Structure 1
Amino acid sequence: MESSRATPGSRRGGRRARPRRRFLLRVCLATTAVVGATAVGTVYVKAHAGDGGAVSSAGSPAPSSTPSAPAGGEASVEPVTEPVVDRNALLDTAMRTVTVPSGAKVSAAVLDLDSGDSAVHGDGAFDTASIVKVDILAALLLRAQDSGRRLTAAEKAYAVKMIEISDNASASALWDVIGRAAGLDAANRRFGLTGTEGGEGALWGLTQTTAADQLTLLRQVFGDESKLSEASRSYLRGLMGTVEADQRWGVSAAADGSGSELKNGWLARSSTGLWDVNSIGRVTAGGTVYLVAVLSKGTVSQAAGIALVEAAAKAAVGSFARGGPSASASARP
């Protein structure tokens, strides 16, 4: 046992050197550990040089608010998922604010041309009445394109009267030119209409259609992707924009004062005395352009049908504005 009076550096018994060697060994090991940690930190920093993070004095990366990057310098970014809006549900909710007269039915479809979002309420078939005149002219223009020709002077005269003043005799003349129901159905297959069937014989007004199909037809007229040429689309749009004043009701009620292009149809069924009232077209509301189709049947008068169609058009467009339904739409017979 060492004497308590042994002075530092004493070599008594040869025992003081060994503790110093152990101390030096501990110092060396500690130094090696620090150097090793620094080396590891340096390797970490080099491997993560792409994240732009600072390095602390201890050699390890400082905490960073930016995402760390894998080797190669490209930062990984978590994908941002946009909320999904159920447009059909919003339209259904909006349509519940519309007062539908007893025994009547209504269906509506709307498309936001800017976003491409669309919605449909109701899938039943309705008589077209005079809205089929847009389809007849689209079929005629498609036939002319296929033949590499323009419309004749007579065809143009019929087309103007058929769309602008809803002249029935002109519609009958062009119905014959396109091959009646067979010709209309052939064109509609190319346009993508799947629920529309031409009326029998000369009864073009009893063509059966759906709101969804009418929206598809409107896209052929007003959209960029169409079987119709730009010249054909421009011609049809021009006529729909110059419908006479007393026929500018219907989907135009959803517009906020801007111009609209449309075609309406109305027909009293001889078997029941009840009315078919329909409206299709393009409107602008709140700076957004919409395609709108509203079909109705079973109202007791044309006026009641117009009120129903206009209320439904407002509700349909309102369901897109601000992401929710319009609470003010209602129809009164």
Structure 2
Amino acid sequence: MPRHSTRRSRLSLAMTAVVLLTGSTAGGAYLVDRASEAAPAAGAPVSSAPGASEEPEVDLDAELAAAVAPQAEGADVSVAVRAVDGGTGAVYGDGTYDTASIVKVDILAALLIRAQDEGRQLDDAELAYADAMIRRSDNTSATELLKAVGGADGLDAANERLGLRETDAVHAWGLTQTTAADQVRLLEAVFGTDSALTAASRAYLAELMGRVEEDQQWGVSAAGTTWALKNGWLRRTTTGLWDVNSIGRVTSGGRSYLVAVVSRGHATREAGIALVESVAKAAVDAVATPSGGGRTGTG
């Protein structure tokens, strides 16, 4: 049974580079402009002004644990959630998990950073690989793009710039180790504004995540009415059991949330999907409607 913990996530707030898009995501040139050197580094801490409210504080990590534990029923699962507008968030579980195919978001982010550094556009082959990797979860495309970013070492280097602190890349990319909290940091880099990714790069990645193929539109999408996501699933040969993960941004009740659910040990892929979806819904509900007034938690 995983234990919940309070984490200090680092929030992305400042505005960065201007959006510049040319061509099409299907095959034309895609221009990535350079990140502003004046922008704060990814993962810079943000503090809140004290004494802003006299409402009683609520421990959102505890709220999240109370909401998720009945859904988990002893399953090996961790979830992190953060409200996009106010930065309020919480984490349940602190273990490391196989990424399976959610690492494909990370790989594309690393490729876009490399293209930014080189002051160039993604070429047609990279665009085709990126589209297939995110929208269809194509494995060959992921392998090719991991090579393009310098392998596991290149991905680790990009993750330092993206503010990830608990993710360790490996050559067999599906076995990259990560935490739910780190996956929300990755989502902040994609959907926030203070990021090593330029506005153009973020828009491109978000657009692909919003158009995954129909049979892959499960997972954190269950927690909202609109979504942009990437899922991962992997049957471990050593145990025959399934890893099932889902990360993305969802909108619920007029607010947007970043949600990451990672899990393992499922007898079937379908059982893992059902758990991920129920945990995602419970997590968003816990942060959206805590039992008290003021909020404390990861922030």
Q: What's the CA shift string for 1:168-207, capped at 9, x where partnerless?
A: 00000001001111011001011111110001x3x00000
**Equivalent-residue separation in structure 2 for 1:212 and 1:92 (angstroms):** 14
CA distance change for structure 1 residues 304 and 234 in 2, over 3 Å: closer, same or farther?
A: same
Q: Does 1:252 align with 2:252?
A: no
Q: Does 1:276 align with 2:243?
A: yes
Residue 99 of structure 1 and its aligned partner are, at CA, apart by: 3.7
TM-score when normalising by structure 1? 0.71
Residue 224 of structure 1 and its aligned partner are, at CA, apart by: 1.4
Tell me the residue number matched to 1:150.
121
Of the three residues 211, 219, 223, the one matched with 1:242 is: 211
CA distance change for structure 1 residues 308 and 79 in 2, over 3 Å: closer, same or farther?
A: closer
| Aligned residue identity for 1:147 | E
**Equivalent-residue separation in structure 2 for 1:150 and 1:91 (angstroms):** 42
Q: Which blocks of at least 5 consecutive residues in structure 1 are unaligned?
A: 1-77, 326-333
- Secondary structure, counterpart of 2:122 in structure 1: coil
Q: Which has the larger radius of gyration?
A: 1
1:1-333 correspondence to structure 2 within 5 Å: 81-100=54-73, 104-199=75-170, 201=171, 203-255=172-224, 258-324=225-291
| Aligned residue identity for 1:226 | S
TM-score when normalising by structure 2? 0.79
Tell me the residue number matched to 2:29.
none
In the alignment, is the contact (CA less than 8 A) between 1:160 and 1:239 conserved in 2? yes
**Equivalent-residue separation in structure 1 for 2:180 and 2:289 (angstroms):** 23
In the alignment, is the contact (CA less than 8 A) between 1:144 and 1:151 conserved in 2? yes
Q: What's the CA shift string for 1:22-69, capped at 9, x where partnerless?
A: xxxxxxxxxxxxxxxxxxxxxxxxxxxxxxxxxxxxxxxxxxxxxxxx
In the alignment, is the contact (CA less than 8 A) between 2:184 and 2:260 conserved in 1? yes
Residue 321 of structure 1 and its aligned partner are, at CA, apart by: 2.2
CA distance change for structure 1 residues 151 and 79 in 2, over 3 Å: closer, same or farther?
A: closer
Residue 295 of structure 1 and its aligned partner are, at CA, apart by: 0.2
Q: What's the % identity of the aligned pairs?
A: 60
In the alignment, is the contact (CA less than 8 A) between 1:108 and 1:121 conserved in 2? yes
The number of equivalent residue pairs is 242
| Aligned residue identity for 1:225 | D
**Runs (4+) off by over 6 Å:** none
| Aligned residue identity for 2:121 | R
**Equivalent-residue separation in structure 1 for 2:69 and 2:259 (angstroms):** 18
- Secondary structure, counterpart of 2:102 in structure 1: helix
**Equivalent-residue separation in structure 2 for 1:244 and 1:185 (angstroms):** 28
Residue 279 of structure 1 and its aligned partner are, at CA, apart by: 0.1
| Aligned residue identity for 2:240 | G
Residue 320 of structure 1 and its aligned partner are, at CA, apart by: 1.5
Q: What's the CA shift string for 1:227-256, capped at 9, x where partnerless?
A: 10000000000000000000000000111x
Residue 82 of structure 1 and its aligned partner are, at CA, apart by: 4.1
Tell me the residue number matched to 2:16.
none
In the alignment, is the contact (CA less than 8 A) between 1:164 and 1:242 conserved in 2? yes
Pairwise CA RMSD of aligned residues?
Answer: 1.5
Tell me the residue number matched to 2:42.
none
Bigger strand fraction: 2
Residue 85 of structure 1 and its aligned partner are, at CA, apart by: 2.4
